[in-house]
Amino acid sequence: MTDTPVSRCGYVAIVGRPNVGKSTLLNHILGQKLAITSRKPQTTRHNMLGIKTEGAVQAIYVDTPGLHKNNDKALNRFMNKTASSALKDVDVVIFVVDRTRWTDEDQLVLERVQYVEGPLILAVNKADRIEDKSDLLPHLEWLASQLPNAQVVPVSALQGHNLDTLERLVAENLPEGEHFFPEDQITDRSSRFLAAELVREKIMRQLGAELPYQIAVEIEEFKLDGRILHIHALILVEREGQKKIIIGDKGERIKRIGQEARKDMESLFDNKVMLNLWVKVKGGWSDDERALRSLGYSDL
């Protein structure tokens, strides 16, 4: 008679400064694209659960916005508050850092996580891209001295290197208990939320440094008609000039944003998608707490 594996379940916060690869890490652990990614800091604005159930273990990952020093706008305050709140009531914390780089914002995260009482894992991301490996060991030793209770794991979120070790450490540290979610559920977020995030990702990837962060996406219609999913998305910007940038010459840019978002939506929702995009100017929304609440930034 074989022993039945012990059922384990718990929450795992993925924290770090902006742009260290937290969302990429979540996507690779889940084996599918859920969290949006771009090279720009602050791509992630909300906490989002990514649920992975394997046998007796259910790990509920919380992807968080990057903790950063800029607190001057309501949107920035919201993101910092959201990231900090994830450190409460979780069973394991993964602190993601970028190779041997260390910034003031990494220090800010360090100061938050050193008071975490539960298990702490330090994931040194992009370890495969460190050219001089002799730089890595002293840095790992320094990190270990800063966080003596942490388990240190070098990983590559993008390449998937060593994620099995990371997941094993997570599983070992999760409390025993029944699973909170059905085993086929991968997130707590609605399809409308995921659709809006995909459109925002394509805008951020397309526009490089041309567009500041004052863009938001609101899904006005999300309706399945037979085999076709009709999605109408409104892109909010703060100034007329930003609207022109998103639309592009003869509408070329918004067309490309739509094509790329639709492709990802069809893969995520497993349906043919008809996507319509509009751009609207709404001045000052990113510093207007009421406007932010209406756009789903509800924790203000």
* Known binding-site positions for GTP: 16-23, 63-67, 125-128
> 139 Cβ partners below 8 Å, 6+ apart?
99, 100, 124
Asked whether the beta carbons of 35 and 23 are under 8 A apart, the reply is yes
Are β-strands 215-225 and 228-237 bridged in parallel, bridged antiparallel, or unpaired? antiparallel
**Tokens at 122, concatenated:** 């330090």
The three-state secondary structure class of 47 is: coil
What number of other Cβ atoms are within 10 A of residue 284's Cβ? 12
Burial level of 43, CB count in 10 A (0-12/13-18/19+)? buried
Annotated binding site: 16-23, 63-67, 125-128
CA dist., res. 244 & res. 224, Å (int): 31
Q: Which residue has the tokens 């993101």?
A: 79
Q: Where are the beta strands (DSSP E) in the chain?
A: 8-15, 48-54, 57-63, 92-98, 120-125, 150-154, 215-225, 228-237, 272-281
CA dist., res. 147 & res. 141, Å (int): 10
